[in-house]
Amino acid sequence: MRVLIAEDDSGIRDLLHDLIERQGQAVTLARDGEEAWGLFEENGADVIISDWLMPRVEGPELCRRVRESSAPYAYFIMLTALGDQQHHLTGRKSGADDYLAKPFDMEDLAARMVTAERVVNHHRRREALLRLARQVSTAREPSGLFKTLLEETLRLSELQAGFVSQVADENESVVGQELVGLSQEDAAPLLSTMREVASAAAAQRRPAMQGSCIAVALVHENQLLGTLALGTRDPRRSFTREEAENLETMATFCAAALAALERARLEGVLLAARTAQHELNNRLGVVLGYAEMLAEYPGLPESMNDLVSEIVSGAKELAETVDQLRRVTRIREAPRPSLTGPTLNLHESVA
């Protein structure tokens, strides 16, 4: 996590820096609230540890600015020796998540950082799902969904490489790939492992992990639509059950949206087919009526009989094709006379 420390006392500031850095977190230091606000606007932060009383901008005001900004959620810990209930209430109203009372020890700080990480991860998952949902609401092609899914899961997991594959007509193909800070050559062994993990996830229909790689299946209504695979070259990276569930949730959400896009595309095709069937049906009725009228015309030259018979035969065959098209598209129409059966006698109509 990225931790921003705002503290005007250099001794406490340096102590916090050493304690947080020892826990493996990236630390940025600010000497007062105004400097901290500038750093947050520029770089953001996952956790902010801020003193209450500081020059220029105090802790509650800094917290209020952070909460009113459009930046991703930051867990805010107020550092203060003011332990009365009124100050606690003021701090909570400004948006603080927790307090660290002076003087503090390493265990107090470590406990709050554990809580901070859980809360921040929860907010990051929610933010990623919201961005994916916005893409779903406007997507017209699967490529946009896959791109957003890959970008959001890489950002959420803080991994270096990922790809999304799509299964169509029983064939699987990679439709999106991202390599963060890696060349294709350097990433080749990693991609090979990711493909193996993706195959396992597709076969099992559940998350699969191998080393520093993880993959989940894109499944909707028990149908495999593709796979999402992520990985890193860092051999120390491992995955928790919660991380696997987060990726599976996003992949399932994307799969459902992909299925909806496919249904919408199919409905468009069916609508076009229905329109074509309706137009053909009308035209064929006219063609067949006039052709049969010509076939019965007493003054028709004998040399034209074969030609007219061929027109009638071809029109009836085409009418059968239109009837098949109606059945395929499942058009619910009121019963009407079949074009392949008896046709309207135009002689009688005219008479």
DSSP per residue over 317-347, as a string? HHHHHHHHHHHHHT--------TTS----HH
2 secondary structure, DSSP code: E
| 351 has pLDDT over 70 | no
The predicted pLDDT at position 332 comes to: 45
Tell me the per-residue pLDDT of 54-68, one tens digit each, with 9 for 90 and over: 888 888 899 999 998
Q: How far is CA 318 from the centre of its chain?
A: 45
SS3 state of residue 222: coil
Q: Which fold has domain 2-123?
A: Rossmann fold (3.40.50)
Based on DSSP, count helices (H) and strands (E) in the chain, helices before strands: 10, 10
Give the rounded distance of the alpha carbon of 202 from its chain centre.
18
341 contacts: CB under 8 Å, gap ≥ 6 = none
Do the Cβ atoms of 131 and 250 come closer than 8 Å? no
Give the per-residue pLDDT at 156: 82
Paired tokens of 5: 């420390």
| Residues 164, 153 contacting (CB under 8 angstroms) | no
First to last CA, the chain: 91
Average pLDDT over residues 334-338: 45
DSSP string, 252-306: HHHHHHHHHHHHHHHHHHHHHHHHHHHHHHHHHHHHHHHHHHHHT-TT--HHHHH
Domain residue limits, the chain:
2-123, 142-262, 265-350
Q: Which amino acid is at 86?
A: Q
Looking at residue 37, its pLDDT comes to 93
Residue 78 in contact with residue 93, Cβ under 8 Å?
no
Phi, psi for residue 161 in degrees, rounded to 5:
-135, 150
Mean pLDDT of 193-198: 91
Note the pLDDT of residue 34.
Answer: 92
- Six-digit token string for 207: 């998350």
Mean pLDDT score across all residues of the chain: 78
Which of 55-59, 270-274, 293-297 is predicted most confidently? 55-59
Query: What pLDDT score was predicted for residue 341?
Result: 46
- Per-residue pLDDT band for 3 (boundaries 50, 70, 90) equals very high
Is the pLDDT at 335 greater than 60? The verdict is: no
Q: What is the DSSP letter of 75?
A: E
26: phi then psi, degrees, rounded to nearest 5: -85, 130
**pLDDT, position 281:** 67
What is the topology classification, in CATH, of domain 142-262?
Answer: Beta-Lactamase (3.30.450)
C-beta separation of 123 from 73 below 8 A:
yes
CA distances from 212 to 191, 269, 318 (A): 11, 43, 60
Radius of gyration from C-alpha coordinates of the chain: 34
Residue 195: in which H helix or E strand, if any?
Answer: helix 184-204
User: Would strands 213-220 and 223-231 be described as parallel, antiparallel, or unpaired?
Assistant: antiparallel
Consecutive H or E run containing 4: strand 2-6
Whole-model pTM: value is 0.56
Nearest to 129 by CA among 45, 253, 261, 255: 253
- 147 versus 82: which is more confidently predicted? 147
Query: What is the reported pLDDT for 272?
Result: 56
For 11-50, write each residue's pLDDT tens digit: 888 888 988 888 888 999 999 999 999 999 999 899 999 9
In this model, does residue 314 exceed pLDDT 70?
Answer: yes
* Res 140 pLDDT > 70: no
